[in-house]
Amino acid sequence: MAVDLLLGLQWGDEGKGKIVDVLTQGYDVIARFQGGPNAGHTLEFDGIKHVLHTIPSGIFHKNAQNVVGNGVVIDPVVFQKEIEKLAPFHLDLTKILFISRKAHLILPTHRLLDAASEAAKGKAKIGSTLKGIGPTYMDKTGRNGMRVGDLEFDNWKEKYRALAEKHQAMIGFYNVELEYDLKELENEFFKAVEALKKLPFIDSEQFMHEAQKSGKKILAEGAQGSLLDIDFGTYPYVTSSNTTAAGACTGLGVSPKSIGKVLGIFKAYTTRVGSGPFPTELFDEDGATMGRVGREFGATTGRPRRCGWLDLVALKYAIQVNGVTELIMMKADVLSGFDTIKVCHAYQYRGTEITHFPYTLEDDAVTPMYTSFKGWNQDLTGMTQEGDLPQELLAYVHYLEKELEVPITMVSVGPDRTQTIVRG
């Protein structure tokens, strides 16, 4: 069986949690393949709003198996809190949540290193979520990391100690003021490790192989977005993993040959949280309206998201890098009430009009060029089928499909599971 992918095509926060939740009915296995608790996947159903950070978004569908793959980095402390928040749902997690032994662990000192590194950068800071993501992936690629599988060996605390001591020396190197009580952080960590150990540890590449062989339908759920990819994003203002399609192969151990549909998800406008270039960012009332109506605050950090018009240059690039086969447009309802809706179709880049994504998006090098569309006023949130949608929105959708050369198969008109229009 093929492995389908669901990927964010912008700077994250496209609404992947909601769509995985909508799609899970059709899948037997939902797998996370990269990132960690920097992600915040929001699900809304039956009047409940729930945010997941490391746990895959299939967790509320009792028949689905959820896999945290080898490409993910896990903070046992955040993970334990996530598990506790699931208590009211009475799920037997030992039967539906599987953790790769090869996933790397975020230590308390990784978080401290993240904070020290950002503080030392001053104005050039990345705007990291400070969850320890960068330092943990640095230890992974530097071949110093601690993995979930290490916890099955008696000497894991010795490994932990050696790594934590190295980190403390590194924190000293940054020469910044950090207040922390390491003993307290460690006690919390050790307790959380015991909670993590109650879940089944797996070799995710074997698990995925067996799942495929036995005909299970598998969905790999991306975190963050393509423009935050460590290789193809707006470096250095990116996260530390491959958020694009290829990351699913390395982050789960599935072969490129087995990738099926690539579902690309984007908002009808654009948002970004943290630092870094954002050509279509709005600093006016329109941007403020998008933020207010779209409730654009980070699900993990609560930071307000920067808002702007849709950027087709960036979106085409993401579609190309990922090989997207279907598009899903989110938050169309947030654009209701705008007289004019704009889409960036090209950049003025150092005096020339370009439609490809350039090496750098430094703010002074790129000026967006816009096509304008008439807006609509209707409230979309109660609409259930394509025929209900205003003509102006359909004109917008048709224009995007023509430009992007990929069908838009779903349009989301509100945060709830049920507010999703599947197009014929």
SS3 label, residue 128? coil
Nearest CB to ligand IMP, comparing residues 39 and 55: 39
307 contacts ligand IMP (rule: CB under 6 A) = no
* Nearer of residues 131 and 342 to ligand IMP, judged by Cβ: 131
CB of 38 to ligand IMP, least distance (A): 4
Per rule CB under 6 A, is residue 39 in the interface with ligand IMP?
A: yes
DSSP, residue by residue, 48-73: EEEEESSS-TTTTSTT-EEEE-TTBE
Dist CA 91 CA 132 (whole Å): 29
Determine, following the binding rule CB under 6 A, whether residue 239 of this chain makes contact with ligand IMP: yes
Known catalytic membership, residue 61: no
Contact call for residues 72 and 131 (beta carbons, < 8 A):
no
Nearer residue to ligand IMP within complex by CB, 11 or 338:
11
Q: Is residue 224 a contact point for ligand IMP (CB under 6 A)? A: yes
Supply the minimum distance, in Å, between the C-beta of residue 32 and ligand IMP. 12
Is position 52 an interface residue for ligand IMP (rule: CB under 6 A)?
no
Q: Which of 4, 7, 13, 229 binds ligand IMP (CB under 6 A)?
A: 13
Amino acid at site 120: A
Of 4, 13, 286, 416, which one is the catalytic site residue?
A: 13
Of the candidates 412, 194, 185, the residue with the CA atom closest to the CA atom of residue 294: 412
Verify binding: residue 12, ligand IMP, rule CB under 6 A: yes
Instruction: Kindly list the strands in the beta sheet with 3-8, ordered across the sheet, starting from the edge strand earlier in the chain.
Output: 201-202, 97-100, 65-68, 29-32, 218-221, 3-8, 259-267, 326-330, 408-412, 420-422
CA angle 81, 181, 125 (to 5 degrees): 80
Closest contact distance (angstroms) between CB of 423 and ligand IMP is: 26
Check binding of 77 to ligand IMP (CB under 6 A): no
In the bound state with ligand IMP, the residue whose beta carbon lies nearer, of 125 and 209, is 125
Given 4, 28, 41, 311, the catalytic residue: 41
Structure-token pair, residue 31? 């797998």
Asked if 204 interacts with ligand IMP (CB under 6 A), we say no
Which tokens hold the place of 321? 């890098």
Closer residue to ligand IMP (CB): 126 or 211? 126
By CB under 6 A, the residues from 128 to 157 that bind ligand IMP are: 128-129, 131, 133-134
- Cα–Cα distances (Å) from 116 to 109, 125, 170, 301, in that order, read 10, 11, 9, 18
Q: How many angstroms separate the Cα of 145 from the Cα of each of 61, 166, 300?
A: 33, 11, 24
> Is residue 41 among the annotated active site residues?
yes
Q: How far is the CB of 64 from ligand IMP (least distance, A)?
A: 22
Q: What mask of x and - would describe binding to ligand IMP in positions 254 to 293, judged by CB under 6 A?
A: -------------------xxx------------------
Closest separation in Å from C-beta 191 to ligand IMP: 24
Q: Which of 1, 81, 127, 373 binds ligand IMP (CB under 6 A)?
A: 127
CB of 26 closer than 8 Å to CB of 58: no
Amino acid at residue number 354: I
Nearest Cα residue to 189 out of 75, 272, 358: 75
State in angstroms the smallest separation of the CB of 264 from ligand IMP. Answer: 16
Distance between CA 108 and CA 118 in Å, rounded?
A: 16
- Centre a 10 Å sphere on the Cβ of residue 152 and count the other Cβ atoms it contains: 11
Stretch that binds ligand IMP, among 122-130, 157-165, 172-180, 261-269 (CB under 6 A): 122-130
Task: State the Cα–Cα distance between residues 206 and 395, nearest whole angstrom.
Answer: 46
Residue 257 CB, shortest distance to ligand IMP, in Å, is 29
Which range touches ligand IMP (CB under 6 A), out of 124-132, 157-165, 177-185, 282-290? 124-132
Interface residues with ligand IMP (CB under 6 A) are 11-13, 38-40, 126-129, 131, 133-134, 223-224, 228, 237, 239, 273-275
As annotated, the active-site residues are: 13, 41
